[in-house]
Amino acid sequence: MGVTVQKAFLCWTLVALALAGTAAHAADYDPAHCQAVAGTLNIFWDDVTSGTSSCTGIEYTDGSLAQAATGSITMTGTSVSNPSCIGTAAYAFTQSSDRMLLAGSDTQDDVPMTLTLSPDHACYVGHWIRGGADFVATISAAPFPQIIVPTPTLDPRNLVLLAGLLALLGCLRKASR
């Protein structure tokens, strides 16, 4: 009986972790932030250092739409909408072959960054983390090459949710035996 309880506990723990990961990533994406930078190479910043949004602003960049259309870009911030909490930097990003990621860095401060495509495929979203600071960056996906043929695939965040639901089903089947 003790082994069954331990297995059930492990199953429920795995389900909880899978669901928490999906919720955390979904919390990073804000459609209003995406809309604020739509069609540009500007970056919407959200300071989430304290666990809640405490300061937001847009970093305007010199990014070239023609360069972004190649799938790689280097750009520099030229000004910001809220200098009380954000500043300018320089960036280099390359779009993944499946077009779901922008991988690169803040080259000025040597901070690696990976941004993932939002659920609506309108923006890339990811964290800039250095020391105790944590900012969510939102960059429009429109300037980058788009997925030409939509395929019926699940977003990676939804795959985690599906895995959690399958684990729950497995737990329920074992419990009913």
For 46-92, how does the pLDDT look when each residue is reduced to its tens digit (9 = 90+)? 999 987 778 999 999 999 999 999 999 999 999 999 999 999 999 99
61-65 long-range contacts, CB within 8 A, separation 24+: 61/91, 63/143, 65/41, 65/143
Whole-prediction pTM = 0.70
- The C-alpha angle with vertex 144 and arms to 98 and 23, in degrees rounded to 5, equals 60
Q: What is the signed CA dihedral for 172, 175, 176, 177, rounded to 10 degrees?
A: 130
List, as own/partner pairs, every contact residues 57-64 make where C-beta atoms lie below 8 angstroms and the sequence separation is at least 24, other chains included.
Answer: 57/81, 57/82, 57/83, 57/85, 57/86, 58/82, 59/86, 59/87, 59/88, 59/89, 61/91, 63/143
> Does residue 26 register a pLDDT over 70?
no
* pLDDT tens column, 96-146: 999 999 999 999 999 999 999 988 889 999 999 999 999 999 999 999 998
Tell me what pLDDT residue 6 has. 52
Q: Give yes or no for a contact between 80 and 57, defined as CB atoms under 8 angstroms apart.
A: yes
pLDDT of residue 92: 98
Tell me what pLDDT residue 23 has.
Answer: 45
Res 11: pLDDT: 47
Which class in CATH covers the domain with range 31-154? mainly beta
* pLDDT grade for 154, boundaries at 50, 70 and 90: low
Domain boundaries, given as residue ranges, for the chain: 31-154
The closest alpha carbon to 58, from 75, 73, 72, 40, belongs to 40
Q: Point out the least confidently predicted range of 18-22, 38-42, 64-68, 99-103.
A: 18-22
